[in-house]
Copies of this chain bind each other. A is one copy, B any other.
Amino acid sequence: MLGDPERRKFRDPERTRERLLKAGFQEVYRSGFQSARIDTILAAANVTKGALYHHFESKEALGHAIIDEVVATFLHNRWLLPLQQNEDEDSIDVLIQIVQSIPARPRDLKGGCPLVNLAQEMSRLDELFRRRLEAMFRAWREAVAMALRRGQSQGTVRRDLVPEEAASFLIAMVEGYEVLAKNAQDVKLWNEGITNIVGWLQSLRAPRQPERGGRRMSKPVATQRRRIRVRRKR
């Protein structure tokens, strides 16, 4: 209908741009932004330097697009979308599912979290990078806080916690364990971290008898699994 798809692929400017973003992300993920080599990106994307600068006016512009379009998509698919799609479910169950679905293959641990990698490297060096990454952390925090706030109004989340603070706490823990696991390259350490984060999430549940202490024991999360939609792939 639209001609040979293989030939189209190499002519279509949109596809070229996508290949550059994908190859750029991989190279930045591997080496960091400053050390990322344009030649490596061009070779991986099978694109000329002219085409690169047609789509992105500089290495920085490519870096910004990698954040806005690739890293943001990970965040969206992994956290924002499941939180949005499961608004009717118990917020704590949903958060537990999300945390347990963070990929933990050896190659994921070795590479670390793309958002943390870039934030650590670039926040001090480049204000445009820093602000983009800050906006992503803010969107992440806001989405988690909103789920906790909803849980509070539904009576499933403790009312004595401040949703924004608890959201930052969760994000700090997840990112902290990403740092430790990336360094140790140790799935066991990661799994131990997830277990502890889940334990902490369970402690956010509202008590069964609101009048008097005694935290509610969580029901097995497995019973909720079929209803909660969470992507498992990075």
Mark A residues whose CB is within 8 Å of B. 30-32, 34-35, 110-112, 116-117, 119-121, 123-125, 130, 133-134, 137, 165, 168-169, 171-177, 179-180, 182-185, 189, 192-193, 196, 213-214
A180 touching B193, Cβ below 8 Å: no
Q: How far is B125's CA from A117's CA once the two chains are assembled, in angstroms? A: 13
CB <8 Å contact, B183 and A119:
yes
The answer to whether A183 touches B112, judged by C-beta atoms less than 8 angstroms apart, is no
Known: A34-B34, A171-B180. A120 touches B121 (CB 8 A): yes
The quantity of this chain's copies bound in the complex is 2
CB-CB under 8 A from A30, the residues of chain B are 124
In the bound complex, residues from chain B placing their C-beta under 8 Å from that of A133 are 183
Q: A34-B34, A165-B192, A168-B189 are in contact. Are A123 and B182 (CB under 8 A)?
A: yes
Chain B nearest CB, measured from A158 CB (Å): 13
Chain B residues whose CB sits within 8 angstroms of the CB of A179 once the complex forms: 116, 119-120, 172, 175-176, 179
Bound complex: CA A121 to CA B35 (Å): 10
Can you spell out 7 A-B residue pairs with CB atoms less than 8 angstroms apart? A31-B125, A117-B120, A120-B182, A130-B183, A171-B176, A172-B176, A172-B177
Residues of B with C-beta under 8 A to A34:
31-32, 34-35
Least CB distance from A47 to B in Å reads 25
Min CB–CB distance A197 → chain B (angstroms) = 8
Contacting pair A123 B172 (CB below 8 A): no
Select which of B121, B137, B180, B185 is within 8 A of A121 by beta carbon: B121
Tell me if B176 and A137 are in contact (CB < 8 A). Answer: no
If the complex has contacts A172-B179, A192-B168, A193-B168, are A110 and B134 also in contact, measured as CB distance less than 8 A? no
Question: Which chain B positions have C-beta within 8 A of A214?
Answer: 213
Which residues in B have their C-beta under 8 angstroms from that of A185? 123, 130
